[in-house]
Amino acid sequence: MTPPIATKTNGATALTKADFQSPAETRWCPGCGDYAILAAMQGFLPELGIPPERTVFISGIGCAGRFSYYMNTYGMHGIHGRAPALATGLAAARPDLAVWVVSGDGDALSIGGNHLIHALRRDVPIKILLFNNRIYGLTKGQASPTSELGKVTKSTPFGLTDAPFNPLSLALGAGATFVARTLDTDKRHLPAMLRAAAAHPGAALVEIYQNCPVFNDNAFDELTDKQTHDANVISLEHGEPIRFGTERERGVVRNSDGELEVVEIESVGEEGLLRHDAHREDPSLAFALSRLGEGGGATPIGIFRAAPRASATPQLVEELRSAHASFGVSDLAALLQAGDTWSVGA
């Protein structure tokens, strides 16, 4: 685990963006959305008042895996898909640290799928950033678990036949207490989602639509282009009617069968619109919202669910402390042989 480089900061000095910038040369492809996410993170972290030496970034394999090298914090580049598991152990053993996970759609949802859902299920206080560009970028353009049905790639020359994962639906099904989505180039919305995730007491998942200019360019143009953004982005605001459009002329309603539908407001009136409730204990509304935009069309961004629950982490931390006190710091052999053991070939 790499330590942060010493900075001028101390408990009495305000943190700045520079305190979180690593001297390592940043190397992603020109135009990669990762640059924007990195800049947003480095610009946002000083707000928390948590110094670099109490901040950790754990990443997996993929283009997003480089993230931990570019942060002047503690960091660890884990093996493929295991970043949530490593972060879970660290957060349980060191509750005084701010632990962030950076993972791509291939890393988190393929080999790391089980690690992701169990980290969310356990609600350990880690913040997971899922960079979703719907492609394997580091290994040069194969289909990922979020690639669109029918997509032609190097690994699917006749078109992808597997239905893609919906990361937010998956997270909500696993019981995640905080789920959000944002866009890599949205300089206001992205920091706001990072801020909300950091404030959440349990596990938080933020899906970030991120452009890969080499292997999947323009995948989210309908949402990021200034000419089409307002017509296609459904901004979720807790307590507010869900409406959008260039003239805010469209909205979301819940039909009698429970399904959500995008309609023209003039056909139902303002009072007919669904009012967003991110704090509902029942995740069914958030789940229904996560299904909008599948296959294209108007897509929600924002906080789908922020419903804290009592965490089991303090109990786990206490169990670890009790075990530590029982066996002592240096008596590793006693710890390893504390349970059922046996000898082979003795």
Give the integer Cα–Cα distance in Å for 100 and 113.
Answer: 17
Residue 195 lies in a domain: yes
Taking only the tens of pLDDT, the chain with its 346 residues reads 566 765 554 455 799 999 999 999 999 999 999 999 999 999 999 999 999 999 999 999 999 999 999 999 999 998 888 999 999 999 988 999 999 999 999 999 998 889 999 999 999 999 999 999 999 999 999 999 999 999 999 999 999 999 999 999 999 999 999 999 999 999 999 999 999 999 999 999 999 999 999 999 999 999 999 999 999 999 999 999 999 999 999 999 999 888 999 999 999 999 999 999 999 999 999 999 999 998 788 999 999 999 998 776 677 667 666 766 665 555 666 766 667 777 787 6
Residue 135 lies in a domain: yes
Domain of residue 41: give its range.
17-219
Residue 48 lies in a domain: yes
Give the integer Cα–Cα distance in Å for 58 and 80.
Answer: 12
Q: Which of 108, 114, 120, 121 is nearest to 81 (CA)?
A: 108
Give the integer Cα–Cα distance in Å for 100 and 127.
Answer: 5
How many domains does one find in the chain?
1
CA distances (Å), 49 to each of 9, 143, 219, in order? 11, 40, 36
Residue 167 lies in a domain: yes
176 φ/ψ angles, rounded to the nearest 5 degrees: -60, 135
State in Å, rounded, how far the first CA of the chain is from the last one.
38
Residue 49 lies in a domain: yes
Residue 231 lies in a domain: no
Answer whether 216's CB lies under 8 Å from 151's CB.
Answer: no
Q: Which of 81, 164, 149 is nearest to 118 (CA)?
A: 81
Residue 253 lies in a domain: no
Tell me, what CATH number does 49's domain have? 3.40.50.970
Residue 276 lies in a domain: no
